[in-house]
Amino acid sequence: MNGHDVALALAEAQLTFITEDDLQAELARVLTEHGAAAAREVVLPRHLGRIDLVVDRVGIEVKTDGGRADVLRQLQRYAHAAEIDELVLVTTRTKHHHVPNEIGGKPLHLVSLIGAAL
């Protein structure tokens, strides 16, 4: 599954969540239903951090809070991981909507879940 396919599957999903952890579990469930095994809380090498989910070579970061600059710094770090070819940002906040289409030379796909929590 590439980043576009991951983003499309997640954007079209019916999700039930309250916390960010619930949301991560729901996203993993949706991806599994689409035939893609999602690893959660993946530690990236070279102290690049822990990304919320990875499917194939697509890293998925889930944000229900936090500042835009902090999110961009985090995604920039993840983009340095050789194991990640594309990134998907899943967010429930409008302040995260203004992100570039590419970060660190890797495609970045945005999935907005504003109003999606049940």
- Looking at residue 8, its pLDDT comes to 95
pLDDT digits (tens, 9 = 90+) for 35-77: 999 999 999 998 899 999 999 999 999 998 889 999 999 999 9
Residue with the two structure tokens 């879940």: 113
Mean pLDDT over residues 8-21, rounded? 90
Mean pLDDT over residues 91-108, rounded? 92
- Tokens representing 98? 């203004």
Phi/psi class of residue 114: alpha, beta or left (left: φ > 0; alpha: ψ in -120 to 50)?
beta
- Tokens representing 36? 């893609």
Name the percent of the chain lying above pLDDT 70.
Answer: 97
Quick check: 53 and 40 in contact, CB under 8 A? yes
Predicted confidence band of residue 16 (pLDDT cuts 50, 70, 90): confident
Model-level pTM?
Answer: 0.92
- Looking at residue 118, its pLDDT comes to 47
Residue with the two structure tokens 């990640």: 84
DSSP code string of 29-76: HHHHHTT--EEEEEEETTTTEEEEEEETTEEEEEESSS-HHHHHHHHH
Domains of the chain: 3-112 (3.40.91.20)
Quick check: 111 and 88 in contact, CB under 8 A? yes
